[in-house]
Amino acid sequence: MGFRRYVLKRVLQAIPTIIAVVTIAFFMIRFIPGDPVEIMMGYTSDQQVIESLQQRYGLDQPLWRQYLEFMYGYLTFDFGTSVRTGRAVESMIMARLPHTILLATGGMIIALLIGIPAGIIAAVNRDEMTDDGVMVGALLGVSTPDFWIGLILILVFAGSLGIFPATGAGSLNDPVELLHHLVLPAITLGTFTASLIARLTRSSMIGVLEKDYVQAARARGIGERTVIYKHAFRNASVPVITVVGLYFGNAIAGTIVIEEVFARPGVGRLLLDSIFGRDYPVVQGTVVVIAVMYITVNLITDLVYTKADPKITYEDT
């Protein structure tokens, strides 16, 4: 089987999962005790308003019909309208998506830039001071709540030093401003993941550094740096790639809290606002979008992984 067919197969396999996600989003609000419209509007609205709203949201229809219409809506990229703003949910999400993607990507870049070299350095200096230092740092990194790191960064860099802004995300038209606003949130989001990546890279590198081909590369006269960063790391990266995808997925979810801390206008904050505002169509839309991003990232990782390891033939999987 060629790589293309393998890609197609994996994409097709993801479809039922996405359908399940949309289904859960649909039933989710039906599990909330009480009538959704009443809850959404508060208890003060009169009966007529409620009925007209029920009609508008199709809540007077039988459940299967509502479900099919909901599904059809998501299939045609029509996520309904917000109860609070009256705007189309998909356009509300799309307006905020860039900030979330920027944050998740920024956090991941920082995590990789710190985590991988730290892990490699620890592995090369195994059981020495440097290794101990990196491992203690990584352990602290995985034990610290990210939103608290965010608060401390705000305290130091936005408050005391005043170098970076504490809130907001900047205008999408101004790259410098965007980046300026991105630094603190990205570090906040990246710390936890960097620690995980450092731990994993270290253990993977330790395994690879004992391999014959590393010793053989030295025997061929290749310099130590090239031996470590090219020959050893290329092989050690395979297990790292698999989890990096998983971590990236978790980083997408992590943006929810970070966006709240830094008051960034992203999808995660939209989700929180709509939960508190009982704006259920928006809750459904954001949940689906975040979950689909997570699934997509995992899918891409899987494909990159198959490419990264020449030993994987597509027939096996």
Partner 1 sequence: MKTRNTFYDVVDKRFLLGLYRRINSVVKDVMRTRKGRFGLVTIVLVTAIAILAPVLAPYDPASQNLTARLTSPNTTYLLGTDSYGRDILSRIIYGFRISLLIGVVSVGVGVAIGTIMGTVSGYYGGWVDEIIGRLIDIMLAFPFLLLALIIVAVLGPSITNMMIAVGISAAPQFARLARGDALTASEKEFVTAADSIGRSHFSIIVEHIIPNIFTSVVVMATLYMGRAIIISAALSFLGLGVQPPTPSLGLILADGRDFIALAPWITIAPGLAIVLVVLGFNLLGDALNDALDPELQTGDKLQ
Partner 2 sequence: MSLLEITDLETTFDTQAGEIVATDGISFELEEGETLGIVGESGSGKSVTALSIMGLIRNPGQVKNGSVRFRDKDLHSLSDRELRKLLGRDISMVFQEASSALNPAYTIGHQIEETLEVNDYKGDPRERAVDLLEQVGIPSPEENLDKYPHQYSGGMAQRAMIAIAISREPQLLIADEPTTALDVTIQAQILELFNDIQEEMNMSMIFISHDMGIIWEVCDRVAVMYKGKIVEIAETEQIFKDPKHPYTRGLLQCLPQVSEQLEPIKGTVPSGATLPGGCTFHPRCEYATDACVEGFPESARVGENHRASCYLYTDHDESGEAPSGKLPQNQNEKPINY
Two tokens, residue 38: 């009443």
Q: Compute the chain's Rg from CA coordinates.
A: 24
Nearer to partner 2, 295 or 312 (CB): 312
- Indicate which of partner 2, partner 1, none lies near residue 215 (CB less than 5 to 8 Å, by partner kind): partner 2
In angstroms, the CA 163 to CA 170 distance is 15
In angstroms, the CA 82 to CA 270 distance is 11
Under a CB-based contact definition with an 8 Å cutoff, are residues 129 and 141 in contact?
Answer: no
Q: Does 305 bind partner 1 (CB under 8 A)?
A: no
Residue 223 CB, shortest distance to partner 2, in Å, is: 6
Q: Does 272 bind partner 1 (CB under 8 A)?
A: yes
Residue 48 CB, shortest distance to partner 1, in Å, is: 28
In angstroms, the CA 245 to CA 299 distance is 8
In angstroms, the CA 258 to CA 62 distance is 40
Q: Does 175 bind partner 1 (CB under 8 A)?
A: no
Residue 127 CB, shortest distance to partner 2, in Å, is: 9
Nearest to 266 by CA among 163, 191, 161, 189: 189
Nearer to partner 2, 56 or 126 (CB): 126
DSSP structure string for 218-267: HHTT--HHHIIIIIIHHHHHHHHHHHHHHHHHHHHHHHHHHHHHTT--SH
What residues make contact with partner 2 under the rule CB under 8 A? 126, 211-213, 215-224, 226, 231, 234-235, 310-311
Q: Which stretch binds partner 1 (CB under 8 A): 54-62, 90-98, 104-112, 142-150?
A: 142-150
Site for partner 1 in 6-25 (CB under 8 A): 17, 20-21, 24
Q: Does 276 bind partner 1 (CB under 8 A)?
A: yes
Under a CB-based contact definition with an 8 Å cutoff, are residues 268 and 257 in contact?
Answer: yes
Contact residues for partner 1, defined by CB under 8 A: 17, 20-21, 24, 28-29, 31-32, 139-140, 142-148, 151-152, 154-155, 159, 196, 199-200, 202-203, 243, 246-247, 249-250, 252-254, 256-257, 260-261, 271-272, 275-276, 283, 287, 290-291, 294-295
